[in-house]
Amino acid sequence: MMTGSIPAGAPESMSPQTEALAAGILAGQRRALARAITLVESTRRDHRGQASRLIEHLLPATGKAIRIGFSGPPGVGKSTFIEAFGMHLIRHGLKVAVLAVDPSSSLSGGSILGDKTRMETLAREANAYIRPSPSGGTLGGVARRTREAMLLTEAAGFDVVFIETVGVGQSETAVADMVDLFVLLASPAGGDDLQGIKRGIMELADLLIVTKADGDLAAAAGRAAGELRMALHLMRPKVPCWRAEVLTVSAVAARGLDTVWEAIGRFRTAMETTGELAKLRAEQARAALWREIEEGLIAALKEHPAVADQAPALERAVLAGETTPTLAAERLLTAFLGRTVRPE
């Protein structure tokens, strides 16, 4: 599996239990999938080692699902839409997994995302699998666990993976970095929605869906869609083969869901035939590699005794304008690396 030029790394291999999990996942067993995701979410060192080996073993069986991210402001009807759309796909014979990135979730509090009680009908389906966000830690840690859970669901045979996020901090960017297509749900109030669309999110979207397009709000939803189309028209496309589209949906009336799936199909076809999808996934993997390296380096630096000593005072001095970021960085790097470091 690994080429000869790559070092053996840690000598551990999969334990018999982990091997059984791998076999269970490849056979599409829900229980094996659930236990494997729990293993991946664990922070115990021995579990991390087994989780890594498990995922590496299953890698050839991953990649076949379409990966869709969902975000939108609170109250826009995300759970309602995801459940309705998930049920729509299941009725068409597809297997749908629903994961979540919510750095604010905690073991005690649970996450409001991926909460089965908000998607009871979908949760009961044999061909659906809903999992709450991994809890706690940094956004980077939560995102990594969700990405690994996504790979496990693909190895278990799911055709579609939804990854939802509430929009805390940089969580939309983290989700966009692991999906093929990013869907932004928008309120039918359009520009009159006092909150507005979080900056930086509109430019991530490949598809925008205005929700609650029924009854009194149907006309408003149409207007909001028009405003969004005009705004998108001003922006350069993310990829040459696809211009972001704006659709209106009534999840409650199950109206517009066909159109959403049809648009996603056109997106996927365009991205696959132009080779853009493979390019996107490779770039996401490369970016994830360097992000993990940076996070590991910063964590190691912060733990170093000499740095732990000097960092708070140096950061304060930078904030107070007593020294420059460059000089403070030089001092911390010198303390960590044990040799004088100057920026390029």
Q: Which is nearer to a copy of itself, 57 or 78 (CB)?
A: 57
| Nearest-angstrom CA–CA distance, 185 and 291 | 28
The DSSP H or E segment spanning 162 is strand 160-165
| Nearest-angstrom CA–CA distance, 61 and 152 | 9
Q: C-alpha 62: how far from its chain's center? A: 16
Footprint (CB under 8 A) of a copy of itself, residues 316-335: 317-319, 321-335
Footprint (CB under 8 A) of a copy of itself, residues 135-154: 137-138, 140-141, 144, 148, 151
List the one residue from 190, 242, 246, 277 that touches a copy of itself (CB under 8 A): 190
List the one residue from 20, 27, 297, 308 that touches a copy of itself (CB under 8 A): 297
The DSSP H or E segment spanning 332 is helix 325-337
Q: Residue 17 interacts with a copy of itself (CB under 8 A)?
A: no
Helix ranges, 106-191 (H)? 120-123, 139-155, 171-176
Piece in contact with a copy of itself (CB under 8 A), picked from 31-39, 77-85, 192-200, 267-275: 192-200
Footprint (CB under 8 A) of a copy of itself, residues 195-214: 195-200, 202-203
Footprint (CB under 8 A) of a copy of itself, residues 82-111: none
171 and 139 in contact (C-beta within 8 Å)? yes
List the one residue from 219, 230, 254, 308 that touches a copy of itself (CB under 8 A): 230
With H, G, I as helix, E, B as strand and everything else as coil, classify residue 241.
coil
Joined together, the tokens standing for residue 157 give: 């045979």
Q: Residue 74 interacts with a copy of itself (CB under 8 A)?
A: no
C-alpha distances (whole Å) from 249 to each of 17, 77, 95, 178, 215 are 45, 11, 22, 25, 12
List the one residue from 48, 91, 92, 266 that touches a copy of itself (CB under 8 A): 48
Footprint (CB under 8 A) of a copy of itself, residues 235-254: 235-238
Q: Residue 61 interacts with a copy of itself (CB under 8 A)?
A: no
List the one residue from 43, 121, 269, 273 that touches a copy of itself (CB under 8 A): 43
